[in-house]
Amino acid sequence: MKKRGIGVGVSFYGTGYGNGFPDISRAIVRLLPGGRVGIYCGVTEVGQGAKTAMIQIGAETLGLTEKDIDLIHEDTSLMPDSGTAAATRQTYNTGNAIKVACENMRKELFEKAKIELELNSTAGLVLENGEVVLSFFPQKRISFKRLSEIYKDEIIEAGGEFVAQTTTMDPETGQGAPYWPYTFNACAVEVEVDTNTGIVDLLRAVFAQDAGRAVNPHLLEGQMDGGFAMALGYALFEDLKLENGAMKNNKFSKYLIPTAMDMIDVEKIIIEDPENTAPYGAKGIGEPVMIPIAPAILNAIYNAIGIRITELPVTPENLMKAIREAEANKQN
């Protein structure tokens, strides 16, 4: 028999290393020949879109387009350390370091413009499309390109650093506030459970994710789809089948992950409630996007057939076993 059910999962997640652990990101910004701007930063692209989002944060701060910026990263001989691409920390921590470095760079550019434009002060200077401009008398302006020519031997650059604020837990009681800031999400799914085959079919999913501010909404939606698909595999498919410590499902013909045919079109909602310590309000969402999915699916299975599943994955055979056990318990 096919039975339908709805389930909801929610989560909150503390980003960063937490628990008072030193969590530092650094960046250097440099004016390059031709007036381009280089951001030197140890941020690692692992498919999450750091390469795009970090450039966007720099571009926003320097009044440039993404095309005017080169991100030089992933080569430790060329750039300062920005910590790991882990703990959902790059957007918040490294995003902050890049923003600080770009703000410092803006001051450097203003100082050089003051000299070249023969001004009394840097007050009233603004950045506009690759030029430093005096806001109330815009004829007074100098391009990044011109500055890079004048200062070709004396490189214009600035650094930036962000140290995350976390506190340690009380080692005796485990109490305290070890993480900050937090990000929140919620997911609801509708499933159809075939009680003869144990196959759980996803019919519908709605997924809301708090991001503080979405630096790049398309990338964010991609992360949400990716987290959902990964969690779908974790909830319903992926089984190592450990027997006496040996992995029995040691190839992808046995260790099943969802295919495009198993994934569904998830309705995604981005919640923007800017975090005031974050770069333009943006918090990381990398790990959180996976967390509420399996609970939502398990709750939906419970809603459909009245059985609480406490072990993953809910493969068809495992679910049929749970159904048989529940029926046996009912009879006793």
Partner 1 sequence: MDIKKVYNSKSVEEVIDILGEYGEKAKVIAGGTDIVIALNNNAIEPELLIDISKLEELKGIKVDKEFITIGSATTFTEIVESEIIDNNLYGLHKACKMVGSPQIRNKGTIGGNIANGSPAADSVPPLIALGGIVTLKSIEGTREVLLEDYYYNPIKEKELLLNIKFERPKDNQILTFAKLGLRKALAISRLTLSSFIEFDDNNTISFIRVASGALAKFPMREKELEDYLLGKILEKEIIEGAIEALRNSMDERLKGRSTLPYKRIAISTILREILEEALAFEEGVKAW
Binding interface with partner 1 (CB under 8 A): 194, 196-199, 237, 253, 256, 258-262, 315-317, 320-321, 324
By C-beta, is 272 or 327 nearer to partner 1? Answer: 327
By C-beta, is 65 or 197 nearer to partner 1? Answer: 197
Catalytic residue of the set 287, 311, 317, 325: 287
By C-beta, is 172 or 265 nearer to partner 1? Answer: 265
For residue 191, the minimal CB distance to partner 1 (Å) is 14
Residue carrying the six token digits 């900050």: 180
Backbone Cα Rg of the chain:
26
Instruction: List, in sequence order, every residue forming a beta bridge with 163; answer none if it has no partner.
Output: 24
Give the containing element (helix H, strand E) for 296. helix 293-305
Q: Are 55 and 99 in contact (CB under 8 A)?
A: no
For residue 328, the minimal CB distance to partner 1 (Å) is 12
Helix locations, 48-91, DSSP H: 50-62
End-to-end CA distance of the chain, in Å? 23
For residue 256, the minimal CB distance to partner 1 (Å) is 5
Give the containing element (helix H, strand E) for 204. strand 200-210
Which amino acid is it at 197? T
Angle between helices 217-236 and 293-305 (to 10 degrees): 50
By C-beta, is 170 or 317 nearer to partner 1? Answer: 317
For residue 323, the minimal CB distance to partner 1 (Å) is 9
d(CA 187, CA 185): 7
Q: Are 240 and 249 in contact (CB under 8 A)?
A: yes
For residue 259, the minimal CB distance to partner 1 (Å) is 4
By C-beta, is 111 or 317 nearer to partner 1? Answer: 317
Q: Does 172 qualify as catalytic in the annotation? A: no
Instruction: List, in sequence order, every residue forming a beta bridge with 210; answer none if it has no partner.
Output: 271
Q: For the stretch 220-241, what's the b/e string if a residue is b when 16 or more beta carbons lie within 10 angstroms of its beta carbon?
A: bbbbbbbbbbbbbbbbbbbbee
State the catalytic residues: 287
